């Protein structure tokens, strides 16, 4: 599709440099959304945008955009690239950051070789994709796509009691543009797989045609605290046991299924959290995922039924709160085929696949044709300092992104 290639040294050096910002002494970086360490990452990204002579725009939810708008393209909607630069706690250096920096590298390369696109090209870094400090995850892209009111999002209170709007203002990224101020012509996100499929099956490229649906809930179980030694088992209202039953139910149901449904309990706490006291309260999260909406609905219904059963049998009270709910997403078939063609032209075989993780692309797909490119993750490890993708695969993915961008913005005949 093109004879050009990205500046691999520049891309890899920037990935490593960004990975040092917020790094823990004995692990990986921690740049939670709107934190002081994320501010440093944002500042570095903006500096690189200016180095590439791009216009910098920040919207009210803190999304950052680098805009290349060559003369004569002003009346056309832009092709948007991007991902995020916030991280989980003690993260790897590739998740999100790779897509943002590769997008920047593609634009820089095209400018340097004198490519004249038929429309503007934009690279974006979306706010709070990870959802660690503020819920829901993928917040910046969700607001941008109109799925969450910006005022509601800015009023979000984080796990540390902070207010998102105030924190964005404090770090200097409460922008003036209304979210959605640029409607993308299309959106492409390059990302590490964060799973083992590509490496295990020997594919250097994933052409992602869909994303799993996600259901997040918080479960609160209220029982009675009592003495661990004097209270007979049959007379207990043990919130801990009830929680254990729910967790086991989810695990066994997923294992017994021949579907790709997965269920995870990632957070749990007991009160009063004492070794010799029966728990009076258990609070935990449930993450359900499936690429099929009907199956996801069935899993949610099965969980609700089981919660009622456990409440009755254990004599406890159970309440469930929905934290986030996103339907499965089908990406644009034409863009997916363009990704496959670009890989083939580079002598690389690709695999059509579903993403098990949520990404900003699933939000932007609400307002524009979208698709994703995956490159392998060694051993499928992510959200961990051991997260790793080879330089060969990183460069290959960025060059495929370059080719796809050239195809989608080729000058009109």
248-267 per-residue burial string, b: 16 or more CB within 10 A, e: under 16: ebbeeebeeeeeebebeeee
The pLDDT value given to residue 411: 87
The pLDDT value given to residue 132: 94
Cβ atoms 98, 191 nearer than 8 A? yes
Q: What residue numbers does the annotated binding site cover?
A: 84, 95, 130, 191, 383
The pLDDT value given to residue 114: 96
Nearest to 91 by CA among 160, 221, 192: 192
The pLDDT value given to residue 324: 85
**Pairwise CA distance, residues 171 & 173, whole Å:** 6
Instruction: Give ∠ CA 363-31-399 in degrees, rounded to 5.
Output: 60
The pLDDT value given to residue 2: 62
The pLDDT value given to residue 1: 55
Q: What residue numbers does the annotated binding site for Zn(2+) cover?
A: 84, 95, 130, 191, 383
Domains of the chain are 8-211+328-409 (3.40.630.10), 213-326 (3.30.70.360)
| Terminal alpha carbon distance of the chain | 16
Overall pTM > 0.75 = yes
* Low pLDDT (below 50) residues in the chain: none
**Pairing verdict, β 213-222 and 317-326:** antiparallel
If residue 65 lies in a helix (H) or strand (E), which one and from where to where?
A: strand 64-68
């Amino acid at each position: 599709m093109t004879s050009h290639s990205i500046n691999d040294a520049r891309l890899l050096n920037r990935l490593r440099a960004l990975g040092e910002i917020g790094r823990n002494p004995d692990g990986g970086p921690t740049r939670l959304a709107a934190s002081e360490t994320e501010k440093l990452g944002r500042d570095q990204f903006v500096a690189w945008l200016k180095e590439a002579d791009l216009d910098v725009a920040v919207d009210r939810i803190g999304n950052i955009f680098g805009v290349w708008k060559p003369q004569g393209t002003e009346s056309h909607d832009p092709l948007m690239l991007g991902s995020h630069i916030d991280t989980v706690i003690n993260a790897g250096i590739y998740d999100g950051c790779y897509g943002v920096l590769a997008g920047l590298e593609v634009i820089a390369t095209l400018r340097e070789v004198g490519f004249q696109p038929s429309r503007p090209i934009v690279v974006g870094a979306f706010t709070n994709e990870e959802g660690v400090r503020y819920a829901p995850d993928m917040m910046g892209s969700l607001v941008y796509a109109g799925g969450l009111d910006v005022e509601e999002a800015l009023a979000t209170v984080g796990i540390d009691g902070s207010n998102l709007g105030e924190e964005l203002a404090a770090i200097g990224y409460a922008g003036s543009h209304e979210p959605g101020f640029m409607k993308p012509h299309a959106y492409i996100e390059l990302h590490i797989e964060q799973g083992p499929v590509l490496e295990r099956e020997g594919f250097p490229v994933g052409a992602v045609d869909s994303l799993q649906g996600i259901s997040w809930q918080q479960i609160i179980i209220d029982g009675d605290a009592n003495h661990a030694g004097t209270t007979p088992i049959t007379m207990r209202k043990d919130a801990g046991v009830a929680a254990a039953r729910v967790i086991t139910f989810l695990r066994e149901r997923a294992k017994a299924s021949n579907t790709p449904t997965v269920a995870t309990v990632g957070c749990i706490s007991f009160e009063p959290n004492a070794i010799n006291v029966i728990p009076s309260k258990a609070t935990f999260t449930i993450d359900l995922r499936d690429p099929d909406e009907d199956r996801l609905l069935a899993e949610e219904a099965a969980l609700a039924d089981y919660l009622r059963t456990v409440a009755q049998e254990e004599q406890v009270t159970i309440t469930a709160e929905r934290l986030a709910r996103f339907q499965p997403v089908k990406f644009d078939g034409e863009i997916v085929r363009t990704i496959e063609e670009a890989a083939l032209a580079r002598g690389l075989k690709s695999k059509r696949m579903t993403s098990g993780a949520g990404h900003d692309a699933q939000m932007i797909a609400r307002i524009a044709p979208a698709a994703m490119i995956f490159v392998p993750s060694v051993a499928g490890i992510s959200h961990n300092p051991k997260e790793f993708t080879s330089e060969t695969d990183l460069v290959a993915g960025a060059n495929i992104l370059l080719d796809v961008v050239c195809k989608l913005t080729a000058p009109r005949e």
